[in-house]
């Protein structure tokens, strides 16, 4: 059974249709890289998966839970789908450690001391073992984004969603984030990544999806599509990104 299943999903913002009859099935262990022009609906598609946006038509099932179910089930769904934002969105009043411990404490009900111990392990895993007691404002963008990844992982999701995780970063800080994502993929995490990092798509992605105007127009093997983009729009898009 697939872990994410879009069935004829439509999403509108007022008069604007942002997702048009999207069908998409993602299996466990896939690393799906989502690309497409600005405004094509990539963020919206991702945000529908953990119900940060509500869908207007069709159905969307994540790990057996439909986004149309009631609120308590949605909260459960969100715990299974960790989210990493372009702007990091770390809690500024909490240290890096407290940020990572936040989810387990308030969602899983883990005891504070235990949550902090687990947070140390996760921070070490993203290469920030020494930075636990710093506040977000005291960290570089790359470090903040790695803390944000650790924070999402702390709730033990089955699936990770990344919305342009490196777009807000200076070029020299992107690699440290991409490396963390790559090692996560190597551990077998199911991931859906909106990104312009074509190198990441080729090296780490197991599947490449190209969106245009709220529709998925290309879906296939990253290397094959990048080497030989038959779709003219994809070819043009890649030309601009490179």
Partner 1 sequence: MDFDWSVVVDALPALLGGAKLTVLIAAAGLVGGTLVGTVAGFARAFGNRLLNALALVYVELIRGTPIVVQVMFIYFALPMLAHIRITPLSAAIATIVINAGAYIAEIVRGALLSVNKGLKEAGLALGLPTWKVLVFVIGPIALRRMIPPLGNQFIISLKDTSLFIVIGVGELTREGQEIMASNFRAVEIWTAVAILYLIMTSALTLALRFTEKRMRIL
Ligand X SMILES: Nc1ncnc2c1ncn2[C@@H]1O[C@H](COP(=O)(O)OP(=O)(O)O)[C@@H](O)[C@H]1O
Q: Which of 147, 141, 112, 102 is nearest to 127 (CA)?
A: 147
d(CA 132, CA 100): 9
By three-state DSSP, how is residue 122 classified? helix
> Which is nearer to Mg ion, 132 or 165 (by Cβ)?
165
Q: Does position 7 bind partner 1 by CB under 8 A? A: no
- Candidate segments 42-50, 66-74, 206-214, 230-238, binder of Mg ion by CB under 5 A: 42-50
> Which is nearer to ligand X, 41 or 229 (by Cβ)?
41
- Candidate segments 58-66, 86-94, 176-184, 188-196, binder of partner 1 by CB under 8 A: 86-94
φ and ψ at residue 75, rounded to 5 degrees: -65, -35
Q: From residue 18 to residue 57, what is the string marking binding to ligand X with x (rule CB under 6 A)?
A: x-----------------x-xxxxxxx-------------
How, if at all, do strands 81-84 and 31-35 pair? unpaired
| Residue 106 burial class via C-beta count within 10 angstroms: exposed 0-12, middle 13-18, buried 19 and up | exposed
> Which is nearer to Mg ion, 43 or 143 (by Cβ)?
43
Tell me, by CB under 6 A, how many residues bind ligand X.
11
Point out which residues bind ligand X (CB under 6 A). 13, 16, 18, 36, 38-44
């Amino acid at each position: 059974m697939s872990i994410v299943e879009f069935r004829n999903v439509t999403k509108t913002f007022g008069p604007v249709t942002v997702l048009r009859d999207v069908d998409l099935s993602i299996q466990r262990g896939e690393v799906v890289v989502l690309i497409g022009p600005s405004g094509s609906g990539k963020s919206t598609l991702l945000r529908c998966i953990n119900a940060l946006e509500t869908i207007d038509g069709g159905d969307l099932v994540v790990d057996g839970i439909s986004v149309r179910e009631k609120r308590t089930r949605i909260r459960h769904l969100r715990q299974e789908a960790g989210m990493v934002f372009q702007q990091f969105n770390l809690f500024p009043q909490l240290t890096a450690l407290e940020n990572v411990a936040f989810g387990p404490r308030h969602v899983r009900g883990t005891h504070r001391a235990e949550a902090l111990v687990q947070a140390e392990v996760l921070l070490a895993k993203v290469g920030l073992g020494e930075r636990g007691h710093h506040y977000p404002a005291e960290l570089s963008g790359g470090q903040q984004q790695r803390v944000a990844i650790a924070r999402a992982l702390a709730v033990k999701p089955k699936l990770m969603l990344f919305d342009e995780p490196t777009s807000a970063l200076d070029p020299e800080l992107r690699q440290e984030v991409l490396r963390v994502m790559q090692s996560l993929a190597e551990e077998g995490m199911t991931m859906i990544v909106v990104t312009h990092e074509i190198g990441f798509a080729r090296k780490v992605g197991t599947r490449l999806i190209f969106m245009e105007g709220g529709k998925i127009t290309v879906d296939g093997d990253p290397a094959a599509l990048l080497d030989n983009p038959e779709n003219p729009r994809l070819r043009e898009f890649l030309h601009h990104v490179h």
